[in-house]
Structure 1
């Protein structure tokens, strides 16, 4: 048994930001199931959005975020996020982050899909996430205990309060960590799908653990698919940042026709769900699509990471075409939190993609994810520092599970079911078939503690749990909105949107549908 003031699960940007603030006065332990630099944050090519230019305003950023989110956003949380933008940039600069600048010394602000202004800051060209992570990691590694290759199994609950977490290492040895504050920063769920931009570690573990512990989960039907994944032989290789289209690249057919012409007023910079569906429609007809980069001068200098990725995949950029397809990119839903990062379980916090803050609505605005990580990680740290923590808990002996888990599907089977049944385009029949398949494994979702499992089986059970929640939420929302598109309700628009949020009460197999969306904007 190991004791700490704060235990953080995950090692991405949100984790490191919280640790940087907390570790000044607190004993902080970071636990990650792989290496500390293996996260979605490191893979983030896009930048961080903030209204810092003279012709921009937080209200413009707010309305862009709300519109992209299809008016499903929490207004108060969204306003808080965007108003924090400029001060967040200042705080990052004070921590040693260098953002790219123009020759005159001004920030080199980029524009991405659904933004009305140039407000995207980058660091290292197309390696913003990696630059942020490495700079913060350098700050925290000397003052924080970092434990790599250890898998968080379950949250330890006593008297309906989180008091720690159970883990297993690569040798299946179990460890109990006791702490009055546990922060989930485990990232997203992209590995549930066949093509994804996400790290191999993004299997929804944090959401599954929180659900089993009794936390409230919401908005699981809203999965964002990034339109432009580099693909070769139908296999996803890596992400081609939206910033490429922001600098003039166009999506074209094999004949050279512009795919998005006439499909949306913003054409190639339309919201991600719109572009992803347009590409998917052509791919379903076995028509190949490309990103035409001929309009971008000095591409390899401007986007060095993408150029290197293309080179490794043997894509010759002299032809100015990058083969693309959509891939699972971001989960808008997750563990419900307030503005302080608190979940429905005292002592348990969630931040980053694992959390459902409400700022992304039904469809995340480009480059708001890194902003969310930094803003709410700082708020969690402030709240924990403000609280009088009690670390004296009685930890009861756990009952040893003796039953074998039995047959479980493979990871590839889960990916196939999710891609086919709960992917970019969903139907009543596809959702029904997916739910029927997931239901046969319900024993592995709610009663996992009754079984002995290996690390691989634990991961599969987590993926089954999250996949089931996504499918069930998608079944319950009988409309198309943002990242959730149903062909049986294809013409949903603002006047027809159902103002409701689909919650799951942790441990319950039935969704709780409540009306929780504003009828109009107040800002």
Structure 2
């Protein structure tokens, strides 16, 4: 392969972080975006709540900083949080100047909403509860003539030699594996919600990025911290979609089927308490045999203020006029992921990660509401700044001719179903965890994993590759949850209900396979 066959940048994923990075980089570099489904299919597109930023004159980035640190149980990287809250408003104003339309009042001022654990009204919305979709479409329109977006091709594994990344191995529509070489590879593949039975995530989000990064030898961090959103629409034993926290921000309250207010006496912020607190309270009520509802009867003009939620409820037979929406918690966001610095650099040279698959430490142990879209925008820009400033100082890029970059054939083994994995994770590695349950989940997962890093062969179907990734990612989260013998943020151990062990600011998970598999 010649130098002209190498892309400057390949981006895996099509959420807001991927699209913002592609937009910035494509002005000077050759950028290819690949996604295993359609370009609109991402968690970013589903984001209802909005984007948090200190926009108001009565607000300040320091207030946003404090709220983010408190929600994250002081497990956050203070530098990363400061970057987020200081640069966020600047970048959002720039997007507005470029044509992004956020909701405004009759005087032309941006409307700012309230959400849980925020001390100020600082949430920008677009189309009421369709902010993510509006942002994604805005970015896709900007990329129409500058970036090649390849849909329906799945990234299978990163091409790594001697801790240096050379691109990605891709499964084509025809089922063949091909190498896509790049000077810089950006992982923006999303989180892990699809590992759990109840989730707000797009169906494509199954922990693929985490599994690929682990197989490539990248450092992973804080994998035990999984946030469950308290209010998923719950119909006939299944979740049908997300009920935005903005609904509680406008006055809705959680009640049981007897009409009792669920959050009274639980937390000073009651229904606007941090998500981990509210999720556990709903979960306990459900375990007691109670049904939990979101009482929206006090919200005027609900259908016009929350059109997406109204349409979803009506689709599944829930009458908004009745004033009650049945809810349960569901896996929503992964605070951990591939360890990166603020420029997105992983421990593997030329491999970067942004968005939910990455962990800068900005969210700590529990993400503050509406900080996820902001994170994607801010740190995609930080990565773009880094690559553009250093594009003339890149070492000569040479593709190694080495058999280790070719994926080995592996024997086809019996695999569990996706739903079996999801049910296991929801029960044992979900909202409330114990040593006994985590050990059971770990043993169950290990029966399907080889005594080495998982390899992907060409004879596997796309579904089988996804299941392998789900097994790998589930094992990583479960093992990490066993290692943290305390409760903190999105990680709640019933056998260690209080913050017993401080452990310092952050805990890195390195080379877990070599340690755990050796005990088999």
Alignment partner of 1:453 out of 446, 455, 460: 460
Pairwise CA distance, 1:101: 1.1
Q: How many residues align?
A: 509
Residues 224, 332 of structure 1: 8 Å contact kept:
yes
Matches of 1:376 and 1:400 in 2, distance apart?
32
SS in 1 for 2:110: coil
2:183 corresponds to:
180
Mapping of residues 263-412 of structure 1, within 5 Å = 263-387=266-390, 388-389=393-394, 390-396=396-402, 399=406, 401-412=408-419
After TM superposition, give the deviation of residue 497 of structure 1 in Å: 3.8
- Structure 1 match to 2:174: 171
Alpha-carbon shift at residue 430 of structure 1 (Å) = 0.6
| Separation of aligned partners in 2, 1:84 and 1:424 | 33
2:53 counterpart residue number: 50
Could you tell me which residue of structure 2 aligns to residue 518 of structure 1?
none
Aligned to 1:154, the other structure's residue is in SS state strand
Distance 2:407 2:153 in 1: 20
For 1:29-48, what aligned pairs fall within 5 Å after superposition?
29-48=32-51
In 2, are the aligned partners of 1:362 and 1:484 still within 8 Å (CA)?
yes
1:247 to 244, 250, 261: 250
Aligned to 2:113, the other structure's residue is in SS state: coil
Q: Does the C-alpha gap of structure 1 residues 445 and 184 become closer, same or farther in structure 2, counting only changes over 3 Å? A: farther
Asked if residue 20 in structure 1 is aligned to residue 23 in structure 2, the reply is yes
**In 1: Cα distance, 2:28 partner to 2:11 partner:** 15
Q: Secondary structure at the match of 1:37?
A: coil
Q: Secondary structure at the match of 1:417?
A: helix
How far did residue 507 of structure 1 move? Answer: 6.7
Change (3 A) 1:408 1:501: same
User: In the aligned structure 1, how far is the partner of 2:351 from the partner of 2:468?
Assistant: 21
Mapped pair 1:505 → 2:510? yes
State the shift of 1:400 in Å: 6.1
SS in 2 for 1:198: coil
Q: Does 1:143 align with 2:146?
A: yes
Deviation of the 1:394 alpha carbon = 3.4
1:399 CA displacement:
4.6
**Take 1:180 and 1:274, find their aligned partners in 2: how far apart are those partners?**
44
Quote the residue 1:117 is aligned against. Answer: 120
Give the C-alpha shift of residue 106 in structure 1: 1.7
Q: Deviations over 1:383-441 (max 9, x none)?
A: 11122334442343555634323111111111111011101001111111111112222
For residue 133 of structure 2, the aligned residue among 106, 130, 135 is: 130
TM-score by length of 2: 0.95
Asked if structure 2 preserves the Cα contact closer than 8 Å seen for 1:68 and 1:114, the reply is: yes
Shift of 1:234: 1.4
Q: What do the CA deviations read for 1:149-188 (whole angstroms, capped 9, x no partner)? A: 0000110113321111000023211121111100001001
> How many angstroms apart in 2 are the aligned matches of 1:198 and 1:399?
32
State the distance in 2 between where 1:111 and 1:286 align: 31
- For residues 201-251 of structure 1, give each alpha carbon's deviation from its aligned partner in whole angstroms, at most 9, with x where no partner exists: 100111110100000001000000000000101101000000000000001
* Cα offset, 1:144, TM superposition: 0.5
Q: Distance in 2 between matches of 1:271 and 1:21?
A: 34
Partner of 1:473: 480
Alignment partner, residue 262 of structure 1: 265
SS of the residue aligned with 1:175?
strand
Q: Which residue in 2 is equivalent to 1:443?
A: 450
Aligned partner (choices 5, 9, 34) of residue 8 of structure 2: 5
Distance 1:312 1:386, change over 3 A: same
Query: Contact 1:228/1:240 (CA < 8 Å) preserved in 2?
Result: yes
Cα distance, 1:252 vs structure 2: 0.7
Q: Is the 8 A contact 1:23 1:144 kept in 2?
A: yes
Match of 1:519 in 2: none
On the 8 A contact 1:95/1:136 being kept in 2, the answer is: no
**Deviation of residue 348 (structure 1)?**
0.5
Q: Compare 244-253 and 484-493 and name the one that shifted more.
A: 484-493
Q: CA deviation at 1:452?
A: 4.5
Q: Which aligned segments of 4 or more residues in structure 1 are displaced greater than 3 angstroms?
A: 389-392, 394-403, 449-452, 506-511
Unaligned ranges ≥5, structure 1: 512-523
In structure 2, relative to structure 1, the CA distance for the partners of 1:399 and 1:346 (3 Å cut) is: closer
Residue 141 of structure 1: how far off its partner (Å): 2.2
Separation (CA, whole Å) in 2 of partners of 1:404 and 1:44: 40
SS of alignment partner, residue 440 of structure 2: helix
1:464 is aligned to 2:471: yes
Q: 2:36, 2:491 → 1: CA distance?
A: 30
- Distance (whole Å) between structure 1 residues aligned to residue 184 and residue 357 of structure 2: 17
What RMSD, in angstroms, separates the aligned Cα atoms of the two structures? 1.6
- 1:521 aligns with none
Residue in 1 that maps onto 2:424: 417
Q: Do 2:73 and 2:364's aligned partners in 1 also have CA atoms closer than 8 Å?
A: yes
Q: Is the 8 A contact 1:114 1:271 kept in 2?
A: yes
